[in-house]
Structure 1
């Protein structure tokens, strides 16, 4: 097996600006992602022109593929290929379907020589992937939606014999926490197809929103698709059944299977809002407007629950022709079931030992419904609890253990462990990146994943169907933020799913990604570019300071010191920057294509130690004032007519920190520092002042993690502080979940020290 490893240097100019009158015949970049499993590069190149024929067998599916290929040429090159079923002697792109093919449904052979392009496969799907590889051998400008002049549409001579490692190469998309329109989904399907991904897992129901029309139960969308956010605004959206059909058809044209997920028995609050009689308590309920797990779930003891779910399945199944149906089955609290007489009666009647076996009973009843529809059931690994449904496929997310156990029992498994494939994790420092749910999964870590654990070597490995990137949308507030989290890690996972382990190499992948970023630009994808990390945005020093920057993967950084925005021609960062006077550093990262990251601005300030206060304090805690009401930003407090005085200690903190009663508080006190030093502070307070200086400002942020650390030169002793604390719920995360803490560390220290409420004095 020969793998091409030598790639010529890539640059945006070579990708797009080559005169057609002098088309290059060699030294063209070969940068296919996922890496083909057998590729031989040869000298020379074939050039596609408006006289090139597209030769296809009489397949309806391939006629649609011809439309997709011609759309690329029509939009980017300004011409369409002539579609025919008669192969000329030269100047062709030809597809052959071999009835005796034995290499697999998704395998293909691709040959490019002086005569043209030949794709050979056993199925339309395999032929499609061969044509996708051909598109990736063309200049990235082939993805443009407008005509690009002066491009030579040349394809290097290659021979490729390729097939995927796994049959399941997917992306999961949660549209419940945050909704995205149909056109956004289509854009993602286009990119998935470009990288040979074949499964779209559509997460449609949750505690925070029901997103699919069910005609028999209209209140699912009338009530369940909307939630009142913490600021009082209404958030919602759902897909009509016609829109679902549109997405499924669009995906099918790109050989992508769509798997619906209808959550049960947990994560079902949005359904219970309209149909509270299906719960254990009877409600009433509201669609959950904070993230996390809801204790109210479908009642396992009521027959009408199963009739309701059967009706929903009856409507959903015809919309999704693929054989799999996902039922969730994860994170189902048993609190209500333990106290519910109907659930306890069910357990006695069925001889169930505990509530975990009751969940297994619930899932196995639904499995029978799906089997009657000819569907295979998938569930998250919690469906192992109490006994696994006989025909179930397990999606292992809480690590690999559930998948290993299921495979050893002879069940199919899709490996989706959070450490590698959860795309809601940070892929850079939480101090500089937009707020995320937590976790830290770099591009290299995603790329390094092997879906077959060492525990399943040998015959049991056959039960691993593949993997997928999971996109949970709690902290993805805009479509752009979805893409910022998804890309480029989903492309790394595409290669994980396709390419044999021995043919993978991360450094080579990064080189092959250079032209792929240009393709993503043409698709309007807001992909992640690593930000310069290390220094705080606001840094104090007394004598001198050195700033040392890094990035989460190797990438060039450029900077300025004159206040201007850095560009590609700015000074390249190569070693730490040292200062003895005040300075402003503006720095950003630059890809080889020329695309740049956002700019980070670092203020460095020379300071004397701020003197400690000479003051006697006699109380523990903080003293100040508060007001009830919804306050999203600090400026909202300006409209308060009447404040209430309050002294806050741990006993009465709930007055200003009750999740159900939003408030604003302005509190004063003192903290005591052990010695002179430069101190870095971090907190999720909305604003934190030392003396008159606003040091940490999280105003208007989702305060899941502090990203506004700052430092100050402070003398030993007591220092006056002021805290502005808005007890609100912004973006699904309540401020009250932050435990009212402040942390500091002296310059040079590794660990932070915690200032608890009882450590303040006044």
Structure 2
């Protein structure tokens, strides 16, 4: 009996070892994956076979293999052996634009898709596998797999706030690289807010020259912003990675920086939030903002503009005595300030739609009068689930980005001090991974109206690139799997194992990331100001816990 038990234990041990070796080290986890026999030898003799229709994708694959593994791979019209083929196929049963098949066999690697976006997803999977293997004398050995894959959500997003602290073009490109690595495809760029205006508008140059001065931690910081040439460069960089860049031009609130530059369009504010709003009572305000949006439209081919439209009540008290606003209320029979806000939002939304753009806005618009046509609501107030239900009931498309668990400026552990908590709760990678909950996905209309999910990175207390990395990594990986992989296929334990294997990639990239499995290896970084207690802003922290700021 003892001998037989030992044999059984040994057999189980080797079976577990074999299974462990057959785990596909991809994030997000594919829909289907089957291990095959043998391996493919990737070397400088390997060729990429692609016709003219997908030549740019072949060039991207070439560039990434050289960049990360030092491999110079040629392209070819046809090859006899040891090649990578990129092929668009006619599969009418597959409507998902990101659907792809990846087959790695001893003689070839085949990536097939119905659309270029799917081919790119397959290339991203291949590159992720390649980057996790060592290079020995310009050779990489890849295990054979057959993969079929597609995402559950079309919107897989990350938002970066650069009004409060500015990070610059190269950092944004690095984030876009990691988004592509994890198959995230929507970059929401928060470019205007109270501390600074970060996008050049040629018709109104003072928006950046004056409005670009300052940050959340230093009101006298030199003007920092993106020129229109910078914007074009970043948008093109993102497009090569099949990422849409969506600008946010916040209105009618969060307008302090703009009003510093052009006070004639200010609607005033409140004692705590001075010069917080644009003036909805002046016709010139609508002409001014529409001209800004016209330039924004030219710069961003995504055909989506986010107008914020949140937290207006912080600073609209001056509207009660502003002559232009009071005249508007009488002429349009607007009974209160929320009605004025709704009027403003509808007019600016109409301007955006006239530019053939979709209107995106935070969830405050659900209580307004905006039509559901070409409109998407971003549900951010996790403590107000009734707003999400109302949005779905009214027929709005929705992107899920609730504070808990998708605000990456929240701390990752209870002991961390740089960032926010909500009633003592923080945002661990596990809570990101388990989102969305069944309570959300079971809501009426959820299957048809929820476009996807997005993490938001607000930067009041994120003052430099290292702190930004620390907040984003490794939670971005959990976000990717939550947005891509069906809930029934998710396995938190297996994900943890795959996640750990990605840490060496973070290190190789020079990222200072949070290691939740070895916290002593990655202690939280504090700037000198934060060590002195100047940040985080205790007043802002208290307001956040009360639900009064984003």
Scaled by the length of structure 2, what TM-score is found? 0.88
Shift in CA distance, 472/393, structure 1 to aligned 2, threshold 3 Å? same
The structure-2 alpha-carbon separation of the partners of 1:263 and 1:40, relative to structure 1 and needing over 3 Å to count, comes to: same
Residues 268-312 of structure 1: per-residue CA shift (max 9 Å, x gap)? 01000111111235x9x9xx9xxx965631111111110110110
**Counterpart residue number, 2:420:** 437
List aligned pairs for 1:98-497, cutoff 5 A.
Answer: 98-103=89-94, 104-140=96-132, 149-150=136-137, 152-227=139-214, 233-281=220-268, 296-333=276-313, 334-391=316-373, 392-399=375-382, 400-430=385-415, 433-439=416-422, 440-450=426-436, 453-454=439-440, 456-457=442-443, 459-497=445-483
Compute the displacement of 1:85 (Å): 2.4
1:497 Cα shift? 0.8
Change (3 A) 1:735 1:395: closer
CA deviations over 1:453-497 (Å, ceiling 9, x no partner): 447546442100001110000001101111110111121111111
Relative to 1, partners in 2 of residues 1:410 and 1:599: Cα closer, same or farther, differing over 3 Å? Answer: closer
Higher-RCO chain (CA-CA 8 Å, sequence separation at least 6): 2
CA RMSD of aligned residues (A): 2.9
Counting matched residue pairs gives 519
8 Å Cα contact 1:174/1:203 also seen in 2: yes
Higher strand share: 1
For the 8 Å contact 1:187–1:523, the answer to whether it is kept is no
- CA drift of 1:244 comes to 0.3
**Maintained 8 Å contact 1:407/1:463:** yes
The offset of 1:357, in angstroms, is: 1.6
Distance in 2 (CA, whole Å) between partners of 1:229 and 1:326 is 21
Q: CA shift at 1:379, angstroms?
A: 0.2
* 8 A Cα contact 1:317 1:373, kept in partner: yes
TM-score by length of 1: 0.64
1:114 Cα deviation from its structure 2 partner: 1.9
Structure 2: distance between partners of 1:738 and 1:40: 50
Deviations 1:346-404 (A, max 9, x none): 12211222211211111111111111111000000011233233422100001243232
Query: SS at 1:159's partner residue?
Result: strand
- Structure 2 gaps of 5+ residues are 1-14, 544-550
The offset of 1:242, in angstroms, is: 0.3
Structure 1 pair 8–398 and aligned structure 2 pair: CA distance change class (3 A): farther
Query: Which string of whole-angstrom CA distances, capped at 9 and with x for unpartnered residues, describes residues 13-65 of structure 1?
Result: xxxxxxxxxxxxxx576210000011111232111111111111212xx3332
Alpha carbons 1:37, 1:163 under 8 Å: kept: yes
Partner residue of 1:39 out of 33, 38, 41: 33
Distance in 1 between residues matched to 2:512 and 2:217, nearest whole Å: 28
Per-residue CA deviation, residues 81-105 of structure 1 (Å, 9 max, x unaligned), is: 221222x342111111013443121
Q: Distance in 2 between matches of 1:736 and 1:503?
A: 39
1:736 to partner: Cα distance: 11
Question: Is the Cα contact below 8 Å between 2:267 and 2:275 reproduced in 1?
Answer: no
Q: 1:476 to 1:236 in 2, by over 3 A?
A: farther
Check whether the contact 1:397–1:415 (CA below 8 A) recurs between aligned residues: yes
Gaps spanning 5+ residues in structure 1: where? Answer: 11-26, 143-147, 531-554, 557-587, 590-595, 601-631, 634-685, 687-697, 705-732, 740-762
Q: 1:230 to 1:263 in 2, by over 3 A?
A: closer
Measured in 1, the distance between the counterparts of 2:230 and 2:17 equals 43
Q: Are the aligned partners of 1:267 and 1:293 in contact in 2 as well (CA < 8 Å)?
A: no
Identify the residue that residue 597 of structure 1 maps to in structure 2.
522
Whole-Å Cα distance in 2 between the matches of residues 404 and 381 of structure 1? 11
Q: Secondary structure at the match of 2:312?
A: coil
- Flag the structure with larger Rg: 1
Please state which structure has a larger fraction of its residues in helix.
2
1:599, distance to aligned residue in structure 2 (A): 9.3
